[in-house]
């Protein structure tokens, strides 16, 4: 029925990589701080040695996951695509598990832009589209592009709702 739908071509901002790396580093850094405090307390209060080994293991895992997140941010950026037309919002993402979503405009209930402090520093926004069952987010678009996309999706969704 929809075999004539083209692959999505729109990409995210290149700054998405920086934003994701900063966010992942802050999250992993918080874990490193907590584990460092626990290691200090274990040494100071002479906790059993096995607790220290577990904490060191968790520290290695946390640092390893932080390094992996730096690498995966690049691949996530390279494989994220989206497109919008009067009928559908298309999103294609994923490296190993590729996910291709088609959201009919008739099912969209709301659309919003979001901007946290890290996104704000790079003048980026995320666009979130809500349907009855779920929500879909297009992360890290330039602010002007995100606002235009939000307005276009809202217009298409309203047009479809009026015609029904």
pLDDT at 74: 96
The per-residue pLDDT for range 19-34, each reduced to its tens digit, is: 999 999 999 999 999 9
Q: Which residue stretches of 8-133 are H helix? A: 15-44, 49-78, 117-121
* pLDDT exceeds 50 at position 35: yes
Q: What is the dihedral of CA 141, 143, 144, 150, to 10 degrees?
A: 70
Mean pLDDT for all residues in the chain = 93
Structural tokens at position 107: 């099912």
* pLDDT exceeds 60 at position 101: yes
pLDDT at 59: 96
CB atoms < 10 A from the CB of 87, how many?
Answer: 15
**Backbone φ, ψ for residue 121 (5° rounding):** -60, -35
Total length of the chain: 164
Which numeric CATH code is attached to 82-163?
2.30.29.30
Residue pair 16/121 in contact by the 8 Å Cβ criterion: no
Angle at which helices 15-44 and 49-78 cross, to 10°:
180
pLDDT at 158: 84
* pLDDT mean over 93-103: 93
pLDDT at 162: 47
Q: How far apart are CA 146 and CA 42, in angstroms?
A: 48
The per-residue pLDDT for range 65-79, each reduced to its tens digit, is: 999 999 999 999 999
pLDDT at 144: 98
Q: How far apart are CA 141 and CA 126, in angstroms?
A: 6
Residue pair 12/139 in contact by the 8 Å Cβ criterion: yes
* pLDDT exceeds 50 at position 6: yes
Instruction: Parse the chain into domains and list their residue ranges.
Output: 15-76, 82-163
**Backbone φ, ψ for residue 139 (5° rounding):** -85, 155
Q: How far apart are CA 90 and CA 60, in angstroms?
A: 38
């Amino acid at each position: 029925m929809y075999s004539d739908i083209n692959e999505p071509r729109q990409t995210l901002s290149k700054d998405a990589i920086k934003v994701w790396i900063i966010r992942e580093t802050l999250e992993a850094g918080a874990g490193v701080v907590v584990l460092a405090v626990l290691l200090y307390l274990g040494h100071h209060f002479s906790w059993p040695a096995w607790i220290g080994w577990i904490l060191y293991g968790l520290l290695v895992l946390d640092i390893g996951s932080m390094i992996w997140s730096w690498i995966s941010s690049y691949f996530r950026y390279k494989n994220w695509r989206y497109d919008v037309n009067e009928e559908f919002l298309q999103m294609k993402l994923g490296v190993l598990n590729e996910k291709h979503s088609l959201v009919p405009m008739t099912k969209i209930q709301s659309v919003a832009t979001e901007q946290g402090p890290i996104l704000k520093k790079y003048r980026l926004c995320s666009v979130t589209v809500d349907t009855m069952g779920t929500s879909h987010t297009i992360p890290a678009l330039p602010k002007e592009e995100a606002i235009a996309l939000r307005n276009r999706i809202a217009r298409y969704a309203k047009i479809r709702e009026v015609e029904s």
